[in-house]
Amino acid sequence: MCWIIDRFEEDIAVVESRNETVYVNKSLLPKGIREGSLLVKTNGNFYLSEEKTEERRRKMQEKMARLKK
């Protein structure tokens, strides 16, 4: 299951999946994450999925470009 960084509230990251929202201390998350980053949770730990993050960003950029036409 994929999780998305929704936002940061000081030292806490708001991380969402389809059915759940969790609040995680940023120190427990991988370095380099930002709003919109996609994470994969394995054995209770979150890992950054750079491939899925870039794919999602590309799709969002394409949608925005279509809306501007």
Cβ contact 68:32 at 8 Å: no
* CATH number of the 2-68 domain: 2.30.30
pLDDT of residue 29: 95
Distance CA 36, CA 59 (A): 12
| Annotated domain spans of the chain | 2-68
How do residues 22-65 score in pLDDT, each as one tens digit? 999 999 999 989 999 999 999 989 999 999 999 989 999 999 99
Distance CA 61, CA 21 (A): 25
